[in-house]
Amino acid sequence: MLRVGYPASLALELFVDFPAGIELIPVSDKLEFDVEIEVWIPDPYPTRAMRAWPRLRGVKLIISMLAGTEWIPPLAGPHVTICNAQGAHNVATAEWVVAAILATLKYLPLYLDVQRSGVWKRRFDAPPHYAAITGDATPFHPPVMLEELAGKRVLLVGYGEIGKEIEHMLAPFRVELTRVARSARLKPKVHAAAELNELLPSADIVILIVPSTDETRGLIGAAQFARMRQGTLVVNAARGAVVNTDALVEALKAGKIRAAIDVTDPEPLTVDHPLWSCPNLLITPHVAASSPQFASNALRTAADELRRYINGQPLRHVVQKAI
């Protein structure tokens, strides 16, 4: 019988879609004895999974509950096949991106401060905020209290499954969307990553949803921020290392750009890290996919991979094939 290790903290009811003919073995980061399993579904908290790994024996296949698996190959080595949870968290992550954009453009962080102060007239903090971040000092009447998403020029950097879901969710807002991926495509029109620097100056919003690779590390740095127009909104739902942190801090403090980020480098941020106090920045602590459906969605993907593994069919989401 195929022995499948799973995070001991998960309820067995979540495994209702798993195929017959397997034995589910709970794996904790506090194991006091070795456990023999062939397939391992690691805890979605990598630090816990890393503590459990030394007690595991016989692992041939690892099925992650996360889309990002960059921490697994150094842990498991080259002789284990690794699959990620591609597609499992598309909706939650795409919704976070849209929510972060709207929260920023509608000045919700500012108005939360107004609410906490209990001073209605502080709403007039909004017009100078708009003028400072956009560089538009036009004397509007009535004054600008927020911005509209409709008609904004959006540069979507990363056009995998989550990128496509983001595009779908942005469609009702009638944005002008430009797609960027590793290589160019014709239908739909997708620009190659090599064109990124040329595309940045025309964007109002830059969404980053690329995988974490050597190619994407530091994709956005000082040179890219310099090419952005005044007040560009940078949204990072990819990995923190995709953006150079020092350059991000500098651009924010200079008032050149604004940003909404769910990921940071380093992660987690230390209490005294300068990002916490940067202006025009919305930070959430890597929670974009953490909805109540997280585990059920990830395990549904894992169940499909297990069926394929048992039946000798090609696995769908391989990020490392065992050698």
Residues marked as catalytic: 239, 267, 286
List, as one string, the DSSP characters of 249-273. HHHHHTTSEEEEES--SSSSPPTT-
Cis peptide preceding 54, ω within 30 of 0: no
Question: What DSSP character marks residue 172?
Answer: G
Which strand ranges, in their side-by-side order, compose the sheet holding 22-27?
A: 22-27, 2-7, 39-40, 61-63, 81-83, 318-320
- Give the whole-angstrom CA distance, residue 164 versus residue 128: 35
- Give the whole-angstrom CA distance, residue 177 versus residue 206: 10
Please, what's the b/e burial string for 251-275 (b: 16 or more CB within 10 A of its CB; e: otherwise)?
Answer: bbeeebbbbbbbbbbeeebeeeeeb
Q: Give the residues across from 192 on adjacent strands.
A: 181
Q: Identify the burial level of 307 via C-beta atoms within 10 angstroms of its C-beta, where 0-12 means exposed, 13-18 middle and 19 or more buried.
A: middle
Name the phi and psi angles at 102, rounded to 5: -65, -40
- Give the whole-angstrom CA distance, residue 114 versus residue 109: 9
Question: What DSSP character marks residue 133?
Answer: H
Name the H helices within the chain.
46-52, 72-76, 90-105, 108-117, 126-134, 161-170, 196-199, 222-227, 245-253, 294-311
Closest Cα partner for 251 from 154, 105, 133, 137?
Answer: 133
